């Protein structure tokens, strides 16, 4: 099974043509840019919510969920036919940009843990937003800790620095910007 760090496995010529046709869609670069703009908008709305006011809890969770769903779709999906920014760059024969995105997402969040940015965001999105999986008290505690970390402006690998890091990678490709 393919993971997010490799090119899609193309098993036959028909699948290759389908994949290449999908990524040759004339407006795809505009669609990628639009999705990145939507991601930025969702992040900006999220960071503007006053989380010190408990009456904003539901609004924060809604905005956080919306951000995570789009982030997951754009950067964290697995599978041969999933539309991700990395697959977009690979189809454009820009493996370097796709590899840089994946290397960035695979960075450790904490020096003392093997938890990556990718694993942290995917855990929250998969366990609490995109799937109705059973959760344990440990899962809930982890999700709360990860969310607090992501929203903390005083730590590395918070949402702001994650978006800034991805922006630098995309700017260097001169094709799409966050």
Tens of each residue's pLDDT in the chain, 178 residues: 344 444 445 455 555 555 555 555 555 777 888 899 999 999 999 999 998 899 999 999 999 999 999 999 999 987 666 778 998 888 888 899 999 999 999 999 998 899 999 999 999 999 988 887 889 999 999 999 999 999 999 998 999 999 999 989 988 886 544 4
Q: Give domain status of residue 166, yes or no.
A: yes
Count up the domains in the chain and report the number: 1
Q: Give domain status of residue 72, yes or no.
A: yes
Distance (Å, rounded) from C-alpha 88 to C-alpha 81? 11
Structural domain boundaries enclosing 85: 13-173
Residue 108, classed as helix, strand or coil, is strand
Both tokens assigned to 2: 């393919």
Q: Which residues contact 122 (CB under 8 A, 6 or more apart)?
A: 72, 76
Q: Give domain status of residue 131, yes or no.
A: yes
Rg of the chain (C-alpha set): 17
Tokens 């995109």 found at: 130
Q: Give domain status of residue 178, yes or no.
A: no
Q: Give domain status of residue 4, yes or no.
A: no
């Amino acid at each position: 099974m393919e993971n997010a760090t490799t090119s899609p496995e193309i098993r036959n010529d028909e699948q290759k043509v389908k994949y290449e046709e999908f990524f040759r869609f004339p407006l795809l670069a505009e669609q990628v840019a639009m999705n990145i703009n939507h991601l930025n908008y969702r992040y900006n709305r999220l960071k503007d919510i006053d989380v010190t006011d408990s009456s904003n809890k539901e609004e924060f969770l809604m905005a956080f969920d919306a951000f995570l769903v789009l982030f997951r779709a754009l950067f964290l999906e697995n599978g041969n036919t999933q539309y991700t920014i990395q697959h977009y760059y690979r189809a454009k024969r820009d493996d370097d940009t796709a590899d840089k995105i994946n290397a960035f997402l695979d960075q450790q969040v904490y020096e003392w843990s093997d938890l990556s940015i990718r694993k942290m965001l995917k855990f929250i999105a998969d366990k609490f937003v995109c799937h109705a999986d059973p959760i344990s008290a440990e899962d809930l505690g982890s999700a709360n800790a990860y969310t607090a970390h992501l929203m903390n402006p005083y730590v590395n690998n918070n949402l702001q620095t994650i978006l800034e890091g991805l922006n630098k990678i995309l700017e260097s490709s001169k094709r799409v910007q966050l």
